[in-house]
Amino acid sequence: MCELLAMSANVPTDICFSFAGLMQRGGNTGPHKDGWGITFYEGKGCRSFKDPKPSFESEIANLVSNYPIKSKAVVCHIRQANVGNVCLENTHPFIRELWGSNFTYAHNGQLADYQQTLQTQKLKAVGSTDSEQAFVWILEQLRLHFGDERPDDQELYQYLAQLSLRVNQFGVFNLILSDGDFVFAYCYNNLHWITRRAPFGPAKLIDTDVAIDFKKETTEKDIVTVIATQPLTCDEAWHKMSPGQWVAFVGGEVMAQGQLQAPKVKSHAQLMGEKNG
């Protein structure tokens, strides 16, 4: 499986500390060696870095981990390929325009027997992954349901949750989606988050010998939420999301959340067994 990382903050913030831990899992402390990518939002624009090489040995990943790009919303992914070749077009996160905004998406999991239901008429996937097909299907459903005008935020979050649940019936589906203003997370089995605010304290990464004192790097008004597949630090209390739970963050704060009845789906091992059988 892959791993996800995202950030929502009320002030432009760099994600160097968290990314330094995640990149170790891309071929060093973890098996997610089939590429990585990260997208930073800056106003209505965004900059994205991708590499089909393992993040642990990627020079581009080293650049990102050492260059403090400031952003209020970040989406990141490290890949362990299940569907689709290891190549740049199959590397998350994926970005498409909707309602005049750049929507960025990353998925952790694997889908099966989805092709007929998740067909699209106008939007087409560039690569060959189940993840990207689910993304373009979600965007097309948003356009069909709401038309050419962006809906109220609460309506949007609720419908995104319903679409996530519909995709979830085809397999393991953990999702991060952002338009630069909100960061939306849907959990099927593995997703955690933590909100850091004053009084800030120290934290140490699990995957590498790096620690930080956030008090020295922040102001009393800063609010920063980090979402990750698995906790990245060993000395902080992370919230573990439950199956079917979704949360929308804006400016580091929870703006909306809900709990759906997650479907019972086949495990990754079962899916792989069918694929190889």
Question: pLDDT tens digits for 59-91?
Answer: 999 989 888 899 999 999 998 878 878 999 999
Report d(CA 236, CA 149) in Å as an integer.
41
Measured distance between the N- and C-terminal CA atoms of the chain, rounded to whole angstroms: 19
Report d(CA 254, CA 276) in Å as an integer.
41
Give, as one character, the DSSP assignment of residue 55.
G
Give, as one character, the DSSP assignment of residue 263.
P
**pLDDT at residue 272 is higher than 80:** no
Task: Quote the tokens at residue 62.
Answer: 């080293």
- What is the number of structural domains in the chain? 1
Report d(CA 195, CA 237) in Å as an integer.
10
Tens of pLDDT, residue by residue over 119-153, are 999 999 999 999 999 999 999 999 999 999 999 99
Residue 151's CATH number: 3.60.20.10
Q: Which helix (H) or strand (E) holds 17?
A: helix 16-22
pTM (global) more than 0.95: no
Quickly state the pLDDT bin for 266 (edges 50, 70, 90).
Answer: low
Q: Which of 73, 34, 29 is nearest to 209 (CA)?
A: 29
Q: Is 139 left (phi over 0), alpha (psi -120 to 50) or beta?
A: alpha
Strands (E), the chain: 3-13, 36-42, 45-51, 71-78, 94-98, 101-111, 171-178, 182-186, 192-197, 202-204, 211-213, 223-228, 239-240, 245-250, 253-259
Q: pLDDT above 70 covers what percent of the chain?
A: 95
pLDDT value of position 1? 64
Report d(CA 182, CA 73) in Å as an integer.
8
**pLDDT at residue 113 is higher than 60:** yes
One-letter amino acid of 46: C
* Residues identified as active-site: 2
Quickly state the pLDDT bin for 268 (edges 50, 70, 90).
Answer: low
Strands (E), 112-191: 171-178, 182-186
Report d(CA 164, CA 168) in Å as an integer.
6
Range of the structural domain that residue 141 is part of: 3-276
Quickly state the pLDDT bin for 277 (edges 50, 70, 90).
Answer: very low
